[in-house]
Chains A and B, each alone.
Chain A
């Protein structure tokens, strides 16, 4: 199993950073500009995972398992967040018969 660390280390750190940055930017752009709530949730997951990737990469390169522990925490929180998010989504669909994020502007005071 030691090999995974070796495999990860075989790719230079810069590549991970670039890949993460790209993934994160795609996620962010999607979250900002899409109106479909399901897509936005997926974009959020994308951002989480880009960060997870970066954490795992740094963890391997520095030989510090702390980073990987963090990854597990983030996965856990993300799962919880998605649960809540999808529940809201279902309620939204039932009440306004739409999953357009801009429909939610009627919630404001």
Chain B
């Protein structure tokens, strides 16, 4: 067990050390040194996670076979307590990590996908002047994300939660000389803070109710809470508000598309594969609370579904290669929240995993395209890249097939699990989620066809990316293709391995049940696959042989323009919040600042000045008068003393 503790400590320690070392030597490190160092740190962290995972599996297996007598019944969960962090009165919050199925899964995703993206960044950020700072921040992000997923109590998770928000802000605004990027960074930070407030209030409420923030204890004690009580509804809703902010759901999703201002590897790592799934992770982590709050579950479901639908429609009309992927990410996150709202926690985590693979792949592929075209991001100026950037094309195709849910690819299994869960609740819900995935198919194939098919419409001279960038693409492509085996459904001869594995960590997952007849499942699968094929054919006809450019948003019909303008949500927020807030600030500036505060300060100053003008007449310079005044004063004091005595 001692070895486990050491390994668990090393996992976040490596990236932290990397971040500190690179940051302090950032003026001295030359060339690729920082990148190689940063990548090595995350790879080491990945190896430690892998060893932990294997060890954890062995203990589990031994325990299942009844051979490992020493481990307690909850052998699946191991808490690594580093030190007592906060200890005030009856409140004790240790600085602890929790090693169980859920955190191990997330650790492997974060460090595994993370190390590939670090490797890719060496090539992508090669020419940047601040490459050392970049890698330092990327390592810091990995550290914060690991804290988030490994935290043994809500507060340690919260440190990571804030840490990833900070790194996200710094990396979105990495090219800080462009004002729009700074604006995007601020937007992301502020929107995240709104969510964080909800999370923080939830923490206080949990602390007040249970007297502890330990996941294990909260899980045990939540059994004593009655289902649907106002307290549990409030707490879960507040936790969900935190998740909304971090995972970019309605109404706080608008920061994520803007976050594409950051370098592409950042978009892949933070805004697709890891950080944005923190909200899902939080809900799964506290699933024991959520299963007790049916109202919250419905809210989660609704928010997820509406977000998924709205952002999927927006994605269809975007012309920036990264923006399409960004809206796709929000939409997929929406689907995950639908799964959470349905109580299908394991399906959501499964989709988190496969999504991390293929969305990281797609973003890195997009980065490779952008790199190939010397910074061009507009898909209207691409096309015909199939022949030039062969590896990028092939891997991007794999990613697209995976996200579209073509049978056999990872996305098929994870998305299908969500669709099944939706059908079980209500056929209409199934139709809606199917609609979302069909829209996904449509805009992804539009992207694919416009970028790689047809004829080249741009001016730059395209070239394939260096091997340091294509190798991560190939690895991720393989993962995207075969990732589905992690959780093969019974129907296809699998054992839902991941679900059973995660079931050891979260109450909510252990309580999941599916009751669909095999015939229904086959039918639904058939409908899904058939409609996907139809949509691909549609997209192919429409976009594959395109030689002309799409019209600008202004020339579209009203409805299309509405969607292309992102439903005017940004404008709506500007009108609803920014303008009134600006007006309020202006008023406060005019009244509070100028009149009240300035008035008080000026009054004090002026009064002193005027009093001084009166009193300076006393200072005649006549020595005898001073003495006289002194004597009078002393006598006055004497008399006063005598009288008061």
Contact = CB atoms under 8 A, between A and B. Distances in A.
B559 interface: no
A31 B620 CA distance: 18
Interface stretch (B51-59, B71-79, B480-488, B623-631): B623-631
Interface residues of A, number: 13
Interface stretch (A3-11, A65-73, A74-82, A99-107): A99-107
B619 A28 contact: no
Interface string B492-521: 000000000000000000000000000000
Contacts of A31: 627
A106 B621 contact: yes
Contacts of B627: 31-32
A102 B619 contact: no
A107 B623 CA distance: 11
Contacts of A33: 624
Contact of B624 (A101, A106, A108, A109): A101
A32 B621 contact: no
B623 A101 contact: yes
B604 interface: no
B69 interface: no
A104 B623 contact: yes
B622 A102 contact: yes
Interface string B155-186: 00000000000000000000000000000000
A108 B628 contact: no
A35 interface: yes
A101 B624 CA distance: 8
A28 B631 contact: yes
A76 B624 CA distance: 25
Contacts of B620: 105, 108
A108 B624 CA distance: 14
Nearest to B623: A101
Given A28-B631, A32-B631, A104 B621 contact: yes
Nearest to A44: B627
Contacts of B619: 108-109
Interface string B615-645: 0000111111001100100000000000000
B624 A107 contact: no
Contacts of A102: 622-624
13 contacts: A28-B631, A32-B627, A32-B631, A101-B623, A102-B622, A102-B623, A102-B624, A104-B621, A105-B620, A105-B621, A107-B621, A108-B621, A109-B619
Given A35-B624, A101-B624, A102-B622, 10 more contacts: A28-B631, A31-B627, A32-B624, A32-B628, A32-B631, A33-B624, A104-B621, A105-B620, A105-B622, A108-B621
Interface of B: 619-624, 627-628, 631
Interface of A: 28, 31-33, 35, 101-102, 104-109
